[in-house]
Chain A
Amino acid sequence: MGVYILRRLVSTIAVMAMVGIFIFLLLRLAPGDPAAVIAGPTATEQMVANIREELGLNEPLPVQFVHWASDVLRGNFGASVFTGVPVLQLLSQRLEPTISLSVLTMILSVTVGVSFGVLAAWRSGGFVDRALATFSAIGYSVPVFVIGYILIYFFAIQTRWLPVQGYTSINQGVAPWFLHLILPTVTLSVPYIAFIARITRGSMLEVLSEDYMRTAAAKGASPFAMLFHHALKNAGVPILTVIGISFAYMIGGVVLTETVFNVPGIGRLVVDAIKNRDYPIIQTVLVLISGLYVLINLLVDLAYTLIDPRIRY
């Protein structure tokens, strides 16, 4: 196990280096110039040229890359070329909303998605199964922003129960924090619930037809014990894989959801940074997201051993 983890960590470093080079080149080779954006719409060419000089954008690409890479290796991720605020400070401001939204979404998605999947498998072919299949099909295919607008219309504009947008830090109270997150969380959860429910149902159906399940039934196990103790644990590996992948892919859905509900998280930060060509922010966020992706995959692989003792590294 130790060797496996070490090998994965070493490969992670190589992957991160490749990602860093790729991101750097991609940004620099794309058209657009932060100096022009800073200078504003009616700036003179001289004004833009002066800003380019100040930002060091006139230096050759290899020189710029070496500067950036050596800074990153020393833990210096630079500062926004616009505001001058250190990138890590900007990230720390944006981390809480994104983590809050992601964690609540995963809790809701896993709880409801797995329950729906188990229920559908248990009542396979019946009304409940068909209803949940319909929900899954719709939930997975309707875009996140459409779900968001519908929820805003009913729960914010019509009833005034929940706020339309914005975010309140948990430091200012759990109630306002939670209220601001209900609509974005539900919105973002719908496709994940649908996805997890479908995978869980399929996996459970396979397990429910196994001999040991019939044995458990013959020995008088309750439906709850059969489903959640015997079946779910054995159906767990594919479900866990899907949850891991969903969490890693969630950043895409988070960007849209943060935009619709004006949640000032990492997703919004990186979208704004891309619009402005704010290189230090984009580079840092993309490198960190790539690292997170790799880390989640590692954790999921390790978790297999807990669910299925037959798996060994």
Chain B
Amino acid sequence: MTISRRDLFKAGLAAGAALSVPSLLRAQTAVAADKTVRMALENLSVFDPVATTAGISQTHALAIYDTLFSADSQSQPHPQMVGNWGVSDDKKTYTFELRDGLGWHDGTPVTAADCVASIRRWAQVGSGGQILMSRASDISKKDDRTFVISLKEPLGALPSILAFEGPFIMREKDAGLPPTEQVTANIGSGPFKFNHDLAKPGASFTYDRNEKYVPRKEPPDGMAGGKTVYVDRVVWDIGVLADPQTSVAALQTGEIDFLYRPPIDLLPLIESDPNLKLEALNRAGVDMTLRMNCLQAPFNSVKARQALLHLVDQEAVLRAAYGNPQYFKPVTSMFGNTAAVTNDENTGWFKPGGDPEKAKQLFKEAGYAGEKIVILQATDWAEQSNASQVVAAKLREIGVNAELAPSDWGGLVSRRSKRDSVDNGGWSIFITDQSEATRANVFTDISLAMNGEKAWYGWPKNDEYEALRAKWLTLETLDERKALAREMQKLWWDYVPEVPLGQNIVPSAYSKTLTGLIPATLPLMWNMQKA
């Protein structure tokens, strides 16, 4: 058989047409997505923000619910659902009146009874709420738009508690559920409505603009101010995060618009793309910390805990965990690097590279005799796993019998609740991280408590420190808090309930067609616009 030039030409045309079909079809089938923003966010598995402390559930709640107060970018509380409010002369009675125009997504108005029920439900589990309930003599509605919180003693931090950790306001019938039973209605009064029909758990969730939402007049600032929505729909694409390479490729081709925490090793690829932008929206980032079991040897000895504080080389840990020094910093204050109350009290222990000799001496003074130290290692969380290995290596270098206990994060979370010795399935050390923004909230951040059995994993106990923490709640000015913060930090680093491993700030990546993104500790969906 011979092939003529004409046949070849025809074949070429046919091949070209065939190859162009996918892109033509794709153009025809592209969703009319001008006002739809696709955000790649982590898996949302619990919808009820009272049932969990997971950040993604708070992000979901910020979209569909509203709050009584909100914190601005300087961590100052501002009214959000509340219009007028005031406190009695004896500072024991707070009266709150809801602002105009608040309505549920089902069309009914928000009432004071909804607020009272929401506060009561949240207060059963939220640490700030428990403080409130311990001091409240009554929380009740005065009329449909007004409710009152009566206190047994003044609580100057009340607006801050309601702003930082305060309840997302739900309908009275939803808030009537016990906090262990999850609310599944997803009906709030916030700027977005949850689209139940398009919900695909584990794959994607869709939020539509609440056209009846009345934003506050003030400009947006952190979580506070006007929550104006300029887009029709926001889709959370959860599945795309399962593969980091794919998530960045999807951002490059415009299939998603926003990637909250892009993989660090692919940041250069994003930087080189002229259509994409990198920006640290969560400017406080996350702090990695090492918790020790203060109930068991050797860390029931303050000397052993101090030894670890001197031993840790934050630079080495951070480099192993996050790689690029551009995105991490050491931390020496118990409040992190960015809080208004951050200070340098009692931080003389910090030395770049650590001080292994000092650590060795302190372990000796603690009476350490070669007991096994078990470090819980989460192998499905690369940063944590790498940091655990560095800490284990540093301990072995000074002759400590350190052993890694690998499991997935779920297994680690189960085991860390065991208070027993390592011979009975307990643990000595685990590493975790948390948003640095919460470190300034002495009254709500449970990791800052040192009340023994009631404290967070590790169970540190220091009554003197706890007395100072209680005093914090009565303070009203920032200067008073700054002074108290120094006193607390003095005790904190003497006792060493945990060891700081450093701060990590990962920028978010997004398409340049997106504007108006608000810097905050969680991704916020209001105020953004899509060109």
Contact = CB atoms under 8 A, between A and B. Distances in A.
B21 to A, nearest CB: 9
A268 interface: yes
Contacts of B57: 40
A260 B51 CA distance: 32
Given A166-B237, A166-B240, 9 more contacts: A39-B53, A44-B446, A152-B249, A161-B23, A164-B250, A164-B253, A168-B29, A262-B239, A275-B408
A10 to B, nearest CB: 36
Contacts of A31: 407, 410-411, 414-415
Contacts of A94: 203
A279 to B, nearest CB: 12
Contacts of B125: 44, 47, 50
Q: Contact size class for A?
A: 35 or more
Interface in B209-243: 237, 239-240, 242-243
Contacts of A36: 410, 413-414, 417
Contact of B240 (A44, A153, A157, A165): A165
A297 B290 CA distance: 52
A42 B53 CA distance: 6
B26 A262 contact: no
B29 A175 contact: yes
Interface in A61-92: 80, 82-85, 90
Interface in A144-181: 145, 149, 152-153, 156-157, 159-166, 168, 173, 175-176, 179
B380 interface: yes
Given A31-B407, A36-B417, A37-B410, A85 B51 contact: no
B482 to A, nearest CB: 25
A44 B456 contact: yes
A263 B57 CA distance: 23
B45 interface: yes
A185 to B, nearest CB: 13
B424 to A, nearest CB: 15
- Which 10 residue pairs are nearest across A and B when measured between Cβ atoms? A40-B53, A32-B410, A264-B203, A31-B411, A40-B54, A176-B29, A36-B413, A82-B45, A40-B52, A54-B180
Contact of B54 (A41, A50, A162, A166): A41
B47 A268 contact: no
B182 A41 contact: no
Given A42-B446, A43-B52, A90-B201, A164 B411 contact: no
A80 B202 CA distance: 11
A277 to B, nearest CB: 5
A48 B417 contact: yes
A50 B22 CA distance: 53
B23 A83 contact: no
Interface string A195-225: 0000000000000000000000000000000
Chain B: interface secondary structure?
mixed
Interface string B17-29: 0010011011011
Contacts of B252: 157
Interface in B1-41: 19, 22-23, 25-26, 28-29
A299 interface: no
A82 B43 CA distance: 11
A175 B239 contact: no
Contacts of B201: 80, 82-83, 85, 90, 93
Contacts of A165: 239-240, 246, 249-250, 255
B45 A83 contact: yes
A51 B178 CA distance: 11
Given A80-B201, A156-B253, A262-B242, A42 B408 contact: no
A276 B45 contact: yes
Contacts of A263: 239
Interface string B176-203: 0001111010000000000000001111
B300 interface: no
Nearest to B125: A47
B148 to A, nearest CB: 28
B432 interface: yes
Given A41-B53, A268-B203, A259 B410 contact: no
A264 B201 CA distance: 10
Interface centre among A36, A145, A262 (most CB of B within 10 A): A262
Interface string A258-278: 011111100011011001111
Contacts of B76: none
A119 to B, nearest CB: 18
Contacts of A53: 180
A36 to B, nearest CB: 4
B245 interface: yes
30 contacts: A30-B411, A31-B411, A32-B408, A33-B413, A36-B410, A37-B413, A38-B45, A40-B54, A40-B55, A41-B53, A41-B54, A41-B434, A42-B53, A42-B447, A42-B456, A43-B52, A43-B53, A44-B456, A47-B125, A48-B417, A82-B45, A145-B243, A152-B246, A163-B26, A163-B253, A175-B28, A262-B239, A272-B202, A275-B408, A277-B410
A163 B30 CA distance: 10
